[in-house]
Homo-oligomer: A and B are copies of this chain.
């Protein structure tokens, strides 16, 4: 079991392996170790050289550091890993968790919004989070300034989960150190990146998908057009979760993002009762993590890599379309894509799309 964890850490921390590839490798080879063993051959068949793999020593060091921090790993498809989150195609293979893991067993909603939200919006978010707690809902957010912090504060007594973009031991923004530490004690903090990781701009959308995927629905409180909160809302919608928004006057520029969300179909919410009503239908849903081991049914098709590569270009195309155009079996195409991926010759994109990597 410890060996399996080390193998899983090695697999996901290897530079060329993202969550989608990880999931496909486990599905194809049954275990992280078998996948690691197979990777050099796969990459060669994909026309590249074997990628550098995260070493056992490096993985052991990360595991020891997590333990020393009083945190623990949650691994996709196993044990305490949140079942709703496991539904995402790009669910994080590993999460590092510190705090009260029982919060993962309770129904939750996300609340996100502007970092520079108005005082009124922050007060509203705090009260709403408090009232959602009284309704038995855990409130998840991103431990950012503004609305996120207010949401955590309001739900600290009843149950709150913070998902951070950096490592579990990194406090960002710095003024949230006390808040994050309070949540280690009385809430729960989740991180996808290894300890010590300073959050960078590209990490925030990854963090947002976890907030959206973990919860029954996402509430946006105040959001500028084209803000990260709207990305979280979009990801929630794409994952089939409720998208909720708190409206505001058209005279208030900070209300424009939420008002537009409502125009686009989000549920207008004004209070906890509205949120409860919106998420009620899915509150008892049984999550169905699609994470079973699929023993390879077809023989590997040596031609498939060539065929698939010829169908790819610089613009991302859906994998389903590649399968249809190739005329090959789905499993063979997926395998070819895996090989090309490990050979560093394709890029994966949101919505299960792939493109040829510029050489």
Interface residues of A (CB under 8 A from B): 120, 124, 246-252, 255-256, 259, 262-263, 267-268, 270-271, 274
Contacts and interface: CB of A to CB of B under 8 A. Distances in A.
A319 to B, nearest CB: 35
A250 B246 contact: yes
Contact of A120 (B251, B256, B268): B251
A256 B251 CA distance: 16
Contacts of A270: 250, 256, 259
A250 B269 CA distance: 8
A107 to B, nearest CB: 22
Contacts of A255: 247, 249
A262 B268 contact: yes
Of A251, A268, A274, most buried by chain B (CB within 10 Å of CB) is A268
Contact of A247 (B249, B267, B271, B274): B249
Contacts of A268: 247, 259, 262-263, 268
Contacts of A259: 247, 268, 270
Given A259-B270, A263-B274, A268-B263, A124 B248 contact: no
Contacts of A251: 120, 124
B252 A124 contact: no
A250 B267 CA distance: 14
A121 to B, nearest CB: 8
Contacts of A247: 247-250, 255, 259, 262, 268
A252 B249 contact: yes
A255 B255 CA distance: 13
A53 to B, nearest CB: 51
A59 B350 CA distance: 74
- Looking at A247, A255, A263, A271, the one whose CB has the most chain B CB atoms below 10 A away is A247
A252 B255 CA distance: 13
Contacts of A120: 249, 251
Contacts of A262: 247, 262, 268
A154 to B, nearest CB: 15
Q: Which 4 A-B pairs have the closest CB atoms?
A: A247-B247, A250-B270, A248-B249, A262-B268
Contacts of A124: 249-251
